[in-house]
Amino acid sequence: MKIINFIVVALILAVLSACTLTPTNKADSAVTKTKNIPPISVQLWSVKDQLKSDFKGTLVKISKLGFDGVEFAGDFGTYGEDAEGLKKYLDSLGLKVSAAHTNFDAFNDENFEKSVSFYKTLGVDTLIVAWDVRAWDENKVDALISDLMSLYTKLSAEGFRFGFHNHDKEFGDFKNTTFWDHIATSTPHDFILQMDVGWVTYAQKDPVKYIKRYAGRTLTTHIKAKLPEGIHLTGKRPIIGEDTTDWASVLKTEMAVGGTKWFVLEQEEYPDGLTPMQAVALSKQGLDKIIAAL
């Protein structure tokens, strides 16, 4: 009888021990997972009209939505000549600058030193050319690549990371591949391919495939909800978590192989009468839920 009692007690202690350890292990796993998740910024083009009418107030609202940073798109409000003042204001709101969209004119011979000084003072380390119609022109895409490489060399020497941002037309056919693939294979590995997931989805391509194909090059990614072009989908709308993109797979792939340092939420569509800020808030909530479930 004593032996049986001893065995029963031992079994009970073993079960209790297992129950005690399991939550701790899960908690540790969750903490580790959280540490691997990049911070979230917002591309300020999402609220461009609000910026024009109330620059500082709009940044306050962005901060209150829980964003870690912002990505600029050429509008600096009253701080266009005061990068130091803008950085102090962002610091007061707890916002960093994930990157800035720019163009070639900002870094021509006349403006190069001024622009470099401005962005360095602002604390920007990543610059992205946001748009160039040559990117999907078979007769001009190589000239674009040449210009990108020239600016890449100059900005790299100044300590910046530099790259290019896609829209949907870069995924058009070009020489048995796509314009985007041609740009990617014609630039070095540390040239950033800023993927706009929304435009990839709109072009009916697989963003996960492209992240894997150019591993380590999606250092900053636009998390944007768009529906595939020409396909009517009942109950879906361009809000993160309410769209068709498999965001869990996208985010996991970016963290695993993309080298992604920032998730950059961008909202270009405002369905059902939503204001831009309301749409941004809903997409941020959707993104937060997806991240929490990873």
Q: What is the pLDDT of residues 165-215, one digit of tens each?
A: 999 999 999 999 999 999 999 999 999 999 999 999 999 999 999 999 999
Q: For 47-65, what is each residue's pLDDT tens digit?
A: 999 999 999 999 999 999 9
How far apart (Å, rounded) are the C-alpha atoms in residues 124 and 119? 5
* Cβ–Cβ < 8 Å for 89, 116: no
- Mean per-residue pLDDT over the chain, rounded: 90
> What is the pLDDT, as a whole number, of residue 34?
53
Q: What percent of the chain has pLDDT over 90?
A: 86
Please say if the pLDDT value at position 158 is more than 70: yes
> What is the pLDDT, as a whole number, of residue 284?
98
How far apart (Å, rounded) are the C-alpha atoms in residues 148 and 139? 16
* Cβ–Cβ < 8 Å for 72, 101: yes
Neighbouring residues of 200: CB distance < 8 A, sequence distance ≥ 6: 166, 168, 171, 206, 207, 210
> What is the pLDDT, as a whole number, of residue 36?
84
Please say if the pLDDT value at position 283 is more than 60: yes
> Which residues does residue 264 pair with via DSSP β-bridges, in sequence order?
41, 222
> What is the pLDDT, as a whole number, of residue 15?
36
* Cβ–Cβ < 8 Å for 119, 79: no
In the chain, where the domains are located: 1-35, 37-292
Please say if the pLDDT value at position 9 is more than 60: no
CATH says 37-292 is which class?
alpha beta
Specify the pTM.
0.87
